[in-house]
Structure 1
Amino acid sequence: MKFFKSTHEYSYEWNLVSAAQWQKYPNENCPHVSHVDVLNRQMDPETGILTTERLITVNQNIPTIIRKILGSSSTQYVREISIIDPKKKTLTMRSINLTLCNLLSVEETIVYQEHPEDQTRTQFTQQAAIKAGSLVSGWSNVLEEFSLRRFKQNADVGRDGFNKVLEKFVVMAEAKETATASAL
């Protein structure tokens, strides 16, 4: 099993970052994400906690030889459960691949939370556990290493893409605020 962990700070308040997260896809940095479908959404009226289950459709660039051996297509599916707690100011997103999970399992947890020392910033933590299945035990280390490298690359690209989405979101929020102030 291989592990990945990354942290980052956004120079924006948690409310803005967590709202922008729902607008992350589509973006030009992540064209491999083709669809994000909401399967279920529930809000606890007592706590205000919103739980959302989504199915993410991803078109991976899998080498043709591997696709032929596994009998798979380049379309992959990921299940994500997100929990947003407005009182604690946390957005936790857990995802796992559904496609080819018997060969390779990738469990990811992302947490956006208000920075404990500065309410104008947001802490971002991303963790993943990558584990090859028993069917490929002879190739486990090679497959896990390859997948870890790919995951790191995608994490960097995803963070860059989200930064662009976040910047657009901030501009839109500021324009809305200016328009509202002008109307008064």
Structure 2
Amino acid sequence: MKVFSSDCTFDYSWEEVSTANWRKYCPWNDKSTHVKAVDTLSRTVEPSTGLLRTERLITCQQTVPRWVLSLFGGSPLSYVYEVSYVDPVEKKVTMCSTNLTWSNVLNVKETVVYQRSRSMPGTKTDFQQEAMITALCSGWQKIKNKVEEASIERFSQNAKRGREGFEAVLEMSRRVFGEQKELEKEHLKST
């Protein structure tokens, strides 16, 4: 098993980040064009805590070499199962995902946390990401290590692109909602 981890701080409030999180696979995010569909399977709110739990199925178009498809079968479409928890009291979003496609060959378990920054609680949001990647090639340790190392490298590149795309979504959201708030203020002044 290999572990990838990353963290950063976004210069956006937790409210902005937690709201934009639901838009990160939108059509104008050119860093997530591989995501073809996001289907919500269930969504519930725990009445006593206000905790929002959402299950989603994410469909992605992968760039899988043809020889891999011919060797193992399958299609370039892959599926990821995600469960997220939004805690409005603690101001924390936790997202846990695992691959459904190719899980008998490579297992990827990812956890992402967006939490109100402790150093700048009103204006910044801390981001933590961890992925545990396990190749399931029993008996072939060298091949297993190579597969895991290559997967970590690819995951790292994708994580960087994903963060860049999310920054663009955050900026667009801030502009759109900033303009909307200004229009609302003007409307209230005129009435």
Between Structure 1 and Structure 2, how many residues are aligned?
Answer: 184
TM-score normalised to structure 1 length: 0.97
Contact 1:92 1:111 in 2 (8 A): yes
Aligned residue runs from structure 1 range 25-174, under 5 A: 25-26=25-26, 27-119=29-121, 120-134=123-137, 137-138=140-141, 139-174=143-178
Structure 1's unaligned 5+ residue stretches are none
One-letter code of the match for 2:162?
G
**C-alpha deviation, 1:134, in angstroms:** 3.6
1:9-41, Cα deviation, whole Å (9 max, x unpaired): 111110110000001113211111111000000
Aligned residue runs from structure 1 range 6-25, under 5 A: 6-25=6-25
Q: Distance in 1 between matches of 2:113 and 2:176?
A: 24
Q: Distance in 2 between matches of 1:122 and 1:19?
A: 12
Q: Distance in 2 between matches of 1:136 and 1:38?
A: 38
Is 1:181 paired with 2:149? Answer: no
TM-score normalised to structure 2 length: 0.94
Contact 1:112 1:125 in 2 (8 A): yes
What is the CA RMSD across the aligned residues, in angstroms?
1.1
Extract structure 1 runs of 4+ deviating beyond 4 A.
none
Work out the percentage of aligned pairs sharing the same amino acid. Answer: 42
1:71-124, Cα deviation, whole Å (9 max, x unpaired): 021100000000000000000000000011010000000000000111110000
**C-alpha deviation, 1:165, in angstroms:** 0.6
Structure 2's unaligned 5+ residue stretches are none
Q: Distance in 2 between matches of 1:89 and 1:23?
A: 18
